[in-house]
């Protein structure tokens, strides 16, 4: 097996995107917010839509970014289909397009759902907590569905398709013994991206940190990148 290779991307290496609209779930803090700050700074024509339950973290974002008319922050519960659908529509109506979507919102393993028994008020075994699946799998797939739908709404007859990036994890490739539900959700969230012949998929390593959002080169992870070709069928046919 080849030894792991590291790489670094400097700010000067980034020449785009330009004149694009990017929607990011989980965009109020951490990786999502730092991605938004970067895209906003790359070009004065770029616009970003942030979806999160909370407003952007003021300690992580400068005030000029928060006040920018190129930034739209929407409070949204991505586990609620109508809430997420309305947020996509609001962003689309505001900026006229959605070119890129970062499926970034996610949570870590929540308690021990298999070997620890909790009981309800009747003393019977309580139903397992499925929030990890709800956020990391079901809601992520809803974001993917909405992304494809809105990318097919072209600004003009010659409009381009779009790009989808899913924030994944090594747990999506190598199961983590301490996080079975998280591992299952991360495995499952990649399948829709990999299962469509009409989608071009590139798996590539990147570096990010959950603990220190300003440094994106601390902990290895993976991103799934998909380019939506406008001339090819996305669903059906």
Q: What is the DSSP letter of 137?
A: I
Residues 6+ apart with CB under 8 A from 30: 60, 210, 213
Angle at 90 between CA 86 and CA 95, to 5 degrees: 150
Length of the chain in terms of residues written: 237
Task: Report CA-CA distances (Å) from 12 to 17, 87, 93.
Answer: 13, 33, 32
> In the annotation, is 182 catalytic?
yes
Q: Which of 47, 133, 150, 186 is catalytic?
A: 186
Q: Which residues sit opposite 37 in a β-bridge?
A: none
CA-nearest of 196, 228, 168, 214 to 30 is: 214
Annotated active-site residue in 133, 150, 182, 222:
182
Cis amide linkage into residue 17, ω under 30° from 0? yes
The helix (run of H) or strand (run of E) holding residue 103 is strand 100-103
Catalogue the E-assigned strands of 17-61.
21-25, 47-52
- Tokens at residue 62, please? 């400068």
Q: Is 186 a catalytic residue?
A: yes
Residues labelled as active-site residues:
182, 186
């Amino acid at each position: 097996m080849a030894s792991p290779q590291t790489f670094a991307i400097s700010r000067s290496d980034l020449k785009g995107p330009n004149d694009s609209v990017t929607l990011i779930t989980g965009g109020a803090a951490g990786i999502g917010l730092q991605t938004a700050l970067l895209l906003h700074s790359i070009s004065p024509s770029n616009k970003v839509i942030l979806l999160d339950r909370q407003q952007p973290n003021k300690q992580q974002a400068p005030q000029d970014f928060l006040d920018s008319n190129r930034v739209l922050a929407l409070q949204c519960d991505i586990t609620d289909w109508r809430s997420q659908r309305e947020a996509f529509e609001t962003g689309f109506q505001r900026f006229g397009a959605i070119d890129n979507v970062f499926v970034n919102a996610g949570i870590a393993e929540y308690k021990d759902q298999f070997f620890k028994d909790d009981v309800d008020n009747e003393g019977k075994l309580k139903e397992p907590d499925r929030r990890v699946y709800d956020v990391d799998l079901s809601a992520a797939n809803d974001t993917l569905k909405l992304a494809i739908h809105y990318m097919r709404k072209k600004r003009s007859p010659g409009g381009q398709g779009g790009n989808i990036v899913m924030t994944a994890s090594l747990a999506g490739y190598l199961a983590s013994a301490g996080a079975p539900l998280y591992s299952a959700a991360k495995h499952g969230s990649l399948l829709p991206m990999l299962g469509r012949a009409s989608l071009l998929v590139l798996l590539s390593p990147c570096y990010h940190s959950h603990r220190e959002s300003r440094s994106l080169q601390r902990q290895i992870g993976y991103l799934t990148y998909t380019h939506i070709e406008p001339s090819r069928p996305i669903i059906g046919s």
